[in-house]
Amino acid sequence: MAPDTTDDDRDKKIAKLQFLIGLTNLQTSQQSKSKSKSKSKPKLDRFDSILEMLETSKPQIPQVEQETYPSRTINAQLQVEKNVIGIYENFLEKGSNNIPEIETLKHVQYVRFYLQNPLPVEMLGYDSLHTWTIYWLLNARCTLGGYDKISKVEKDAIIDKVFSFWMDETDAIGGFSGSDGEYQLPHIASSYAALLSLVIIIDDDNYKRIKKNLDVEKIHQWLLSLKQPDGSFFMHTNGETDVRAMYCALVIINLLGIKDEKLTENCIEWLVSCQNYEGGFGGDLMDEAHGGYAFCGLNALLLLIDTPKQLYDLIDVDSLISWMVKRQYGMEGGFSGRTNKLVDGCYSTWVGALSPLLEVVTGTEELINREKLQNYILCCCQDPGKFGGFKDKPTMRCDFYHTNYVSCGLSFCNSFHFIDEDIMKEDGLAFSFKAAKLDDDCPLGLVDPVFTVPIGAPLRFKKYMKRE
């Protein structure tokens, strides 16, 4: 399923052209023509890039500090550096023909296996995350190139499943519970994940059914019941409030077209106060800056404002960028989620999506180092054997969560984003992100950095919801 293919192709070509002459940001391209420079950076092949990484990067902690002030942080960091360097050196020894590539096939097999077959009892912990597990696998499948390969049988099964989570017994309650709607409470993050699965699979054939089943007014009332005077949202009844809940609520509100003053009251003020002294966002006022919350915080703002430049009036954009780029570690190439913490593949999305967003906001070509992030993902987050899936770091095991967010991160490494100004005016900033591949041969699908679903899918969903 790929509607508007011709339009997409044209957009890609235009975007690529713009990119090549150093104008990634269509929106500001008119005003900034004079200051933009054509920069043609020779692209290193992966072997040289890894070699360069090992040769030029310095360890984070100097020898003298290691000896004088040993600590848990130092031990943990040295251990990871040692592992990762070992892996990189091993690949370099094998020569440039053996540098890992994206092993799309085995990852697709992993994802399809777990979508098709019931989960073993060892995965019982996923019972309260059911809508999440479906979204993670489904979206990973799309990112790995399967967006147009989801069959009608699968789509119908997903719709059935998602609506089996719906709770309509209680009047005031809407939304999707974690699993088996008859006994689990509706939860904002579960609803978010459920809705994203519908966003991915909606088409001409099934949109009426989805529309009929989604009681938008009930969801609206339910979200209002979780809204706090300070602007924040409770995740669920008796639940916590944090930036995640705010972001997930705003995604739902935007997709269903139920934005109103009551729901958005004080949201911006509350979000802005969650940017902390380091430049990133914490989960709540004055909590530590954290990659996951930074993703939620920035995107929540983008779901509320009209143009990217408005961001400058609300938060300290420069210190967010400064904090973001520091998440990337020179030797590993991957991102950490917090200052002085270890790299983890999932931040390839949480921090990795911030880069294209902030590149658009600032009109900059590239902020993070895509090439080096990609080295980390390909060498350290996928298993060398025949089993697919992605993971946090070499010593860990693959799981659904990492499989999705590492795949998305890999897609961000191979693409750049820009804004379609017409869509921005018509449908809002959050829906206006478009993307193009840096390398046409890359098998990965393009990912929307705000909604983390295939690019274009959120707008399509929104339009279906308006269609009779």
Partner 1 sequence: MPNEKSSVLQDSGFDYSDITPIPLKTIDPNDLKTPALCDILYSDDYRELISLLRPLMKANEHSQRALYLTDMIIERIAGHYTVWSYRYNILETLSSKDKSNGSSELTNELAWCEEVALQNPKNYQIWHYRGLIIDLLLDRYPDQFDIEGEYKILKHMLNEDNKNYHVWSYRRLFVEKFDLFDKKEELQFVRDKINEDMRNNSAWNHLFFLKFGRYKLKLQKTVDDSVVSDEISFAKELISKAPTNPSSWNYLNGIYKILKKNIIELKSFVTQFTNLVYEDSVSVYAFELLAEIHVLEKDLEESKKVYELLAKTLDPVRVNYWEYKKAQLTVV
3-state DSSP of 189-211: HHHHHHHHHHHHHCCCCCHHHHH
d(C-alpha 201, C-alpha 159), whole Å = 9
Considering only CA atoms, give the Rg of the chain.
Answer: 22
CB of 253 to partner 1, least distance (A): 21
Active site residue 48: no
* 114 touches partner 1 (CB under 8 A): yes
Instruction: Identify the residue among 276, 374, 414, 452 touching partner 1 (CB under 8 A).
Output: 276
Interface positions, 51-110, toward partner 1 (CB under 8 A):
52-53, 56-65, 68-69, 71-74
**Does the annotation mark 215 as catalytic?**
no
Q: How far apart are CA 29 and CA 36, in angstroms?
A: 9
Interacting span for partner 1 (CB under 8 A) from 19-27, 154-162, 245-253, 450-458? 154-162
| Residue 7 bears catalytic tag | no
For tokens 């602007």, name the residue.
231
Minimal distance, residue 138 CB to partner 1, in Å: 9
What is residue 142's DSSP assignment?
Answer: I
Residue 48 as a binder of partner 1 (CB under 8 A): the answer is no
- Among residues 248, 267, 346, 381, which one is catalytic? 346
User: Which one-letter amino acid corresponds to residue 262?
Assistant: K
Residues 373-402 that bind partner 1 (CB under 8 A): none
- The two tokens of residue 374 are 């990609």
Whether the Cβ atoms of residue 379 and residue 103 lie closer than 8 Å to each other:
no
Is residue 290 part of the annotated active site? The answer reads yes
Which of 209, 399, 442, 463 is catalytic? The answer is 399
- Is residue 148 among the annotated active site residues? no
- Of 107, 110, 155, 392, the active-site residue reads 392
CA distance 447 to 443: 13
Stretch touching partner 1 by CB under 8 A, among 129-137, 245-253, 305-313, 449-457: 129-137
Minimum gap (Å) between residue 231 Cβ and partner 1: 15
Encoded amino acid at 12, one letter: K
Per DSSP, the three-state class of 11 is helix
Choice between 372 and 437, CB closer to partner 1? 372
List the interface residues with partner 1, window 333-372 (CB under 8 A).
Answer: 333, 338-341, 362, 364-369, 372
Q: Among this protein's residues, is 370 annotated catalytic?
A: no
- Please indicate whether residue 344 is annotated as part of the active site: yes
Distances 64 to 61, 67, 71, 72, 79 between C-alpha atoms, Å: 8, 5, 13, 16, 17
CB-wise, 138 or 219, nearer to partner 1? 138
Pairing of strands 433-437, 415-419: antiparallel
| Residues between 286 and 325 with contacts to partner 1, criterion CB under 8 A | 286-290, 316, 319, 321-322, 325
At 330, is the secondary structure helix, strand, or coil?
A: coil
> Given the complex with partner 1, which of 22 and 258 has the nearer CB atom?
22
Options 21, 29, 239, 258; binder of partner 1; rule CB under 8 A: 239
Q: Which residues pair with 328 in a beta bridge?
A: 335
Residue (of 94, 100, 136, 143) closest to 115 by Cα position: 136
CB 54 within 8 A of CB 331: yes
Question: By C-beta, is 334 or 394 nearer to partner 1?
Answer: 334
| Binding-site member from 23, 235, 446, 455 for partner 1 (CB under 8 A) | 235
Nearest CB to partner 1, comparing residues 396 and 423: 396
Q: Lay out the site mask for partner 1 across 421-460 (x = CB under 8 A, - = otherwise).
A: ----------------------------------------
Rounded distance, CA 250 to CA 255, Å? 8
* HEC string for 47-104: HHHHHHHHHHCCCCCCHHHHHHCCCHHHHHHHHHHHHHHHHHHHHHHHCHHHCCCCCH
Q: What is the DSSP letter of 69?
A: S
Mark whether 346 is an active-site residue: yes
Is there binding between residue 124 and partner 1 (CB under 8 A)?
Answer: yes
What tokens were used for 259? 């934005």
Tell the smallest beta-carbon distance from residue 431 to partner 1 (Å): 27
Question: Which stretch in 3-11, 98-106, 121-129, 300-308 sits in contact with partner 1 by CB under 8 A?
Answer: 121-129
329 binds partner 1 (CB under 8 A): yes
Burial 185-199 (b: 16+ CB within 10 A, else e): bbbbbbbbbbbbbbb
Select from 331, 438, 396 the least CA-distant residue to 52. 331
Tell me how far CA of residue 146 lies from CA of 100, 265, 271, in angstroms. Answer: 21, 39, 35
For partner 1, which stretch binds (CB under 8 A), given 4-12, 222-230, 231-239, 344-352?
Answer: 231-239
Positions 165 through 224 that interact with partner 1 (CB under 8 A): 177-178, 180, 182-185, 187
Work out how close the CB of 353 gets to partner 1 at its nearest, in angstroms, rounded to a whole number: 16
The length of the chain is: 468
Query: Left, alpha or beta for 95 (phi > 0: left; psi -120 to 50: alpha)?
Result: left
Both tokens of residue 292?
């996951």
| Selected range binding partner 1 among 112-120, 255-263, 388-396, 458-466, rule: CB under 8 A | 112-120
Q: Select from 17, 44, 105, 119 the one that contacts partner 1 (CB under 8 A).
A: 119
Is residue 40 involved in binding partner 1 (CB under 8 A)? Answer: no
Active site residue 399: yes
The residue annotated as part of the active site, out of 244, 338, 417, 434, is: 338
Nearer to partner 1, 155 or 460 (CB): 155
What are the catalytic residues? 290, 338, 341, 344, 346-347, 392, 399, 402
